[in-house]
Amino acid sequence: MQEPPTSRFPSATLAAIVDALRAVAGDPPKTRASFARGSCVRGTYVPSDRAEEITRSRSFTRPSRVLARFSVGGSNPNVADGDKLVLRGLSFRLGDSRHRSDVLAQSAPVHFAKTLDQMLAFLKARIPRPDGGQDMERVKAFSAANPETLHQASYIAAHPLPRSFAGTTYWAVHSFPATNSTGETRFIKFKIAPVGAEVTPTESEAAAKSAGFLHDDLEHRVTSGDVRFSVMALLDRPGDPTMDVTIRWPDEDNREQVRLGTIVITGLEPDETCDAGIFDPANLAEGMAHPPDEIFAARSAAYAISLAKRR
């Protein structure tokens, strides 16, 4: 298993980003800096017979237990599940103590910033005024100067609100170098697709649902059966952008893809099981390497800072 790297970014910068994430939501106490509201679950992972074509990582090529967390984006632990402007998240852990991989995915295929400086400036522009309102002129000025930071919001706005965590497609937005059983290395992107069609409500259905309908629906589905996702690897082509997480690969939705395996969620876990630590994306079993972009390189240390703050 790869060891989490020592961050090359000043801890003050990472702490400022964590603080800004929380400030955007009104600085709620002792919560995650992002995806604060969630449900912890457990299950199993079953690899496909093609997994070794893509990676020799034992966490993706061998059966294992799964710990996972479904969540709603932002630092507000009371955010309504029907809020169309925030992401849905899925974090999961595969493998064993020697071959562990943590993957963090979300309901949009791009991130909202490509560098830490841009991410911090994006958040600062959205911190509420003392009266609780948002300075829209400041937001518009920042967006005009940084148009790529609108790609995520544009994707969210163009797609219907998910009606179920279990019926949502999730992406890990980074480009991962994967080495297969013959020693060949290529970039992949993870796409976590529900087994079955995506589930989306009409506007009237969404308005009629409770504030916690995603979590209620998940509990019902898990306790009455199971929830399944295909772990897909989207395959690279020459010239694909691997450093900028605000943009997709060209024609990404029509890429060749290989199913690495299937996650089967079979039970609920107490929130404390997931909240005791972090899903650390720097934990990748040999055969799956760290993406080269700046946002990924900062995640592990930033999550550790967030964990310390909420404790």
pLDDT digits 0-9 by tens, 16-34: 999 999 999 999 988 999 9
pLDDT digits 0-9 by tens, 101-151: 999 999 999 999 999 999 999 999 999 999 989 999 999 999 999 999 999
34: phi then psi, degrees, rounded to nearest 5: -150, 150
For the chain, the average pLDDT equals 93
143 falls within a domain? yes
pLDDT grade for 82, boundaries at 50, 70 and 90: confident
Q: What is the pLDDT of residue 42?
A: 98
Residue 298 is which amino acid? A
Give the residue numbers spanning the domain of 115.
11-310
The DSSP-derived string for the chain is -PPPPPPSS-HHHHHHHHHHHHHHTT--TT--SSS-EEEEEEEEEEE-TTHHHH---HHHHS-EEEEEEEEESSS-TT--TT-TTS-EEEEEEES-SSS-EEEEEESSSS-S-SSHHHHHHHHHTTSPPTTS---HHHHHHHHHH-GGGGHHHHHHHHSPPPS-GGG--EEEEEEEEEE-TTS-EEEEEEEEEESS------HHHHHHS-TTHHHHHHHHHHHHS-EEEEEEEEEP-TT---S-TTSPPTTGGG--EEEEEEEEEEEEE-HHHHHTS---TT---TTBPPP-SHHHHHHHHHHHHHHHHH-
3 falls within a domain? no
Q: What is the pLDDT of residue 257?
A: 97
89 falls within a domain? yes
How many domains are there within the chain? 1
Q: What is the mean pLDDT of residues 241-269?
A: 97
2 falls within a domain? no
User: Quick one: how far is CA 257 from the chain centroid?
Assistant: 19
1 falls within a domain? no
Q: Look at residue 213 and tell me whether its pLDDT is greater than 80.
A: yes
Q: Is this prediction's pTM over 0.85?
A: yes
- pLDDT above 70: percentage of residues in the chain: 94
Q: Look at residue 9 and tell me whether its pLDDT is greater than 90.
A: no
pLDDT digits 0-9 by tens, 152-203: 999 999 998 888 999 999 999 999 999 999 999 999 999 999 997 655 555 5
4 falls within a domain? no
6 falls within a domain? no
190 falls within a domain? yes
pLDDT grade for 207, boundaries at 50, 70 and 90: low
- pLDDT above 90: percentage of residues in the chain: 84
pLDDT digits 0-9 by tens, 32-45: 999 999 999 999 99
CATH code of 226's domain: 2.40.180.10
Q: What is the pLDDT of residue 3?
A: 47
